[in-house]
Structure 1
Amino acid sequence: MPTLILVRHGRSTSNTSGVLAGRTAGVELDDKGRGQAEQLVERLAPVPIAAIVTSPLTRCAQTVEPLAKARGLDPSVEPDLTEVDYGEWTGRELKDLAKEDLWRVVQAHPSAAVFPGGEGLAQMQCRAVAAIRRWDRRIAEEHGPNAVWVACSHGDPIKSVVADAMATHLDNFQRIVVDNCSLSVITYTPTRPFVARVNDVGGDVAALIPKKDEKPAEEAVVGGSTGA
């Protein structure tokens, strides 16, 4: 039962342009995003990381590059962690998309939203969750149950994975906030996932350090944890 650290890519040139980049080629981190990627190295320094998996898009690869270099790891590319295929919406300005009827569906009933010429949000959640669980099993087999691994993806895929782990319907996933270069932490057990953090942009990571020979808990603490 490894610990998964989901990282959203750092701020990109598209995040401040008002344009829906989607899978557009050539979208890179801006200066702030590159700084966030460097800060990630220092922030996660105390945590042993067994593997790094990333979306194939440039902005995610750039986000994990400094961390991978510092740890001597070669990131694995996972196509199913890529951004939503927004189809005909790709490259359009958000202010114009907000006038579309589909925009209201995306906001209020995302499980029914299918982008013209692209994929549906439910389809995206299915492939993202399947990829995460597949990699989590692989990490456990190769590195043991106390391993910690990093997966770098995009806002909507991460929100959908967190929603699944919380057993909340995809129609609620717009209530989850995932900022650039934030950490969301999940542990999958044979019976259920445990969500330890969501959208953590600066908290202490000491709790993520595996304790030697400690068996990961499969049951929730009755009455709440002491935090010890």
Structure 2
Amino acid sequence: MRLILIRHGQTPSNVAHLLDTAVPGPGLTELGHEQAAALPEVLADEDIDAIYVSTLVRTHLTAAPLAAARGLQPLVRDGLREVAAGDLEMRSDEDAVHTYLTTLFGWSQGDLELRMPGGENGVEALGRFDAVVDEAAASGAGSVAMVSHGAAIRAWVAARAVNVDVEWAAEHALSNTGVVILEGSPTDGWKALTWEGNAVELPEADVDSGPAGQPVHDQAGR
């Protein structure tokens, strides 16, 4: 199966660099709506049999133009929601962002019992994302798009893709409406084909996209 993971468009909390993970969450900024509107063209060459979204409003708004263009009804799954920030919710300070990112990449490295302060552990967070991917694979779809969140996508890809290790994923950003494409299956494993169009190097982001999408080392003043 071809798995197309899409981060949602820019939100006001991204601009403010807030760890905003609760449901239903904010909508999109004007730029976020423009990013969402561009997705049908960005993915014009991709066959898409189904579109999944999380329970957060921003993924619904991001998916809407793509779903309309393909004549598909998005499937809402809680498993695709953002990694819950717990006690770090709505913080933007360097310590909070560092704790958030190092915890979730700890899960990707195999420390699944590590728990986000006041939040979920790796078994719970990766397990719920796995469940949605498993469901999509079991449906027989050849290509599926999932609109999810920066931290959830980065942690899951680092944990499941055979060619993306934790160090690489931790040091590479994922912009709003950034796309990661993988191929594989839950039984055979996953290989990342592209990350924002390039599986090795990423362009510098031109706009703020919030703490969930930034490199681990780039947290001063956030």
Same-fold status (TM-score > 0.5): yes
Within-5 A mapping of 1:106-121: 106=103, 109=106, 111=111, 113-121=114-122
C-alpha RMSD of the superposition = 2.6
Instruction: Provide the secondary structure at the position in 2 that maps to 1:14.
Output: helix
* Alignment match of 1:188 (pick from 184, 194, 206): 184
Which whole-Å CA distance do the structure 2 matches of 1:36 and 1:54 have between them? 16
- Corresponding position of 1:135: 136
1:17–1:58 distance in 2 versus 1, CA, 3 Å: same
1:170 is displaced (CA, Å) by 5.7
Instruction: Provide the secondary structure at the position in 2 that maps to 1:11.
Output: coil
- Corresponding position of 1:65: 64
Instruction: Provide the secondary structure at the position in 2 that maps to 1:150.
Output: strand
1:192 is displaced (CA, Å) by 3.1
1:90–1:137 distance in 2 versus 1, CA, 3 Å: same
Which whole-Å CA distance do the structure 1 matches of 2:4 and 2:192 have between them? 10
CA contact (8 A) 1:187 1:193 kept: yes
Instruction: Give the percent of matched residue pairs that are identical in Structure 1 and Structure 2.
Output: 28
CA contact (8 A) 2:5 2:145 kept: yes
CA contact (8 A) 2:24 2:55 kept: no
Which whole-Å CA distance do the structure 1 matches of 2:63 and 2:28 have between them? 11
Q: How many residues align?
A: 192
* Alignment match of 1:162 (pick from 150, 157, 160): 157
Larger Rg: 1
Unaligned runs of 5+ in 2: 199-222
CA contact (8 A) 1:177 1:199 kept: no
Which whole-Å CA distance do the structure 1 matches of 2:117 and 2:169 have between them? 21
- Corresponding position of 1:42: 41
Which whole-Å CA distance do the structure 2 matches of 1:123 and 1:68 have between them? 29
* Alignment match of 2:175 (pick from 169, 179, 182): 179
- Corresponding position of 1:27: 26
1:132 is displaced (CA, Å) by 1.2
| Counterpart AA for 2:135 | R
Which whole-Å CA distance do the structure 2 matches of 1:191 and 1:46 have between them? 25
Which whole-Å CA distance do the structure 1 matches of 2:29 and 2:193 have between them? 29
CA contact (8 A) 1:107 1:174 kept: no
Which whole-Å CA distance do the structure 2 matches of 1:122 and 1:171 have between them? 20
1:40–1:193 distance in 2 versus 1, CA, 3 Å: same
Q: Which moved more, 1:81-90 or 1:117-126?
A: 117-126
Which whole-Å CA distance do the structure 2 matches of 1:108 and 1:157 have between them? 10
- Corresponding position of 1:125: 126
Which whole-Å CA distance do the structure 2 matches of 1:56 and 1:104 have between them? 22
